[in-house]
Amino acid sequence: MHSQKWPARLGDSVRHLTERLQGDIGNPSAWNSILEELVLLFLNVFGGAESDLKEAEAFLVGLDNRLREIDEIIHHIQAIREDAEESGKDLQTGVDEEVGNVRRDGTEATDLDSFRELVSLHLNSIQARIEQHLQEERGHFLHTMQDTERVRDHMRSLEDEEQRLRGRLAEALILATTDKVTGLPNRTSYDRRIKEEYMRWKRFRRSLCLVAWDIDDFKRINDIFGHQTGDEVLRFIGRAFMSRLRETDFVARYGGEEFVMLMPGATLEQACAVAEEIRRGVCERPFSIGMKRVSITLSGGVSEFRNGDNSDAVFNRADKALYQAKQSGKNCCVADQGIQ
């Protein structure tokens, strides 16, 4: 299980299944439930990705179909406009023809009454042509309005679908970058943030510190009180971090009982002071399991970015400082001074 690279969002499920495998592997009665849990885990890995892909694919297919329909409607509107233009030309030709007939017949008329009769006949013909043209124009206008409304309906539908998909993507992004136990950013979110902070540090050379945290004796808490209590401890620590961080600071659950914190603009001395305040606050804050008070403590390693550093080098120094804190009796913070 440990050698397999699992998605960060499934970290707790993998941890729980690993512990079951270690504890119940000799119990045949538990094998069926373990196998079912393993199958569900794989379905979560591949099923989630497949559903996202299918939804995106369905949206793109629907989008393509709607765009084709809109294109057909636009071509239809263009054809109506061309017909209207042609109808206008026919009207002009007909009117010119009737006016020419009036002039020609006027020269041939022998008296006023016959001239009036000829003029009236040609005017009626012109009026009929105009009425026919107006009727055709009303038809063209009606069809154009109907087509325009169809385009608007399609556009509204596309906008609604785009907003729905945008919302789903935002939710998926939150789920993908948030630890489901503590509500803190997860490892994926940290990987993205450390890149941003590292590039900002390289550009502006403002102080940047990293703190690696570990809950002391967390495995013992899990073994004695169970994983539900362990999750409560994780949430307890998460709240403690969030209550003491500055607005520009960042903290994530790195994995298991490990957390990592970024403190832009803080010198090593300032970061150590904040880390010590957090450690002391956790130690002094009461945590109860049932009627029993339990002492929860943290160890921390603090490292500052130096010339020539990359993010891995800084993290490794913080991790070594954390190890020194553990070796020094736990429940303390150690800076990376002198650590290479």
Catalytic residues: 257
The Cβ of residue 212 has, within 10 Å, a number of other Cβ atoms equal to 26
Q: Measure Cα distances from 131 to 44, 71, 85, 190 in Å.
A: 69, 32, 16, 74
CB 90 within 8 A of CB 126: no
Contacts of 321 (CB under 8 A, 6+ apart): 212, 300, 301, 302, 303, 334, 335, 336, 339
Mean pLDDT of the chain: 78
Which pLDDT score, from 0 to 100, does residue 11 have? 63
Highest mean pLDDT among 35-39, 122-126, 219-223: 219-223
Question: What burial class does residue 46 get, using C-beta atoms within 10 Å of its C-beta: 0-12 exposed, 13-18 middle, 19+ buried?
Answer: exposed
Mean pLDDT on 121-127: 66
For the chain, state the CA radius of gyration: 39
**How buried is 60 (Cβ within 10 angstroms: 0-12 exposed, 13-18 middle, 19+ buried)?**
exposed
Alpha helices in 187-328 (DSSP H): 187-204, 218-225, 227-244, 268-284, 311-327
The DSSP secondary-structure symbol of 290 reads T
- Give the pLDDT of residue 10: 58
As a whole number of angstroms, the longest Cα–Cα distance in the chain is 130
Q: Is the whole model's pTM more than 0.85, yes or no?
A: no
Report whether pLDDT(2) > 60. no
Residue 339: its pLDDT value, please? Answer: 77
Q: According to the model, what pLDDT value does residue 163 have?
A: 76
**Burial (Cβ within 10 Å: 0-12, 13-18, ≥19) of residue 333:** buried
> Could you tell me the two tokens for 236?
């307890």
* pLDDT band of 87, cuts 50, 70, 90: low
Topology of domain 181-335, CATH: Alpha-Beta Plaits (3.30.70)
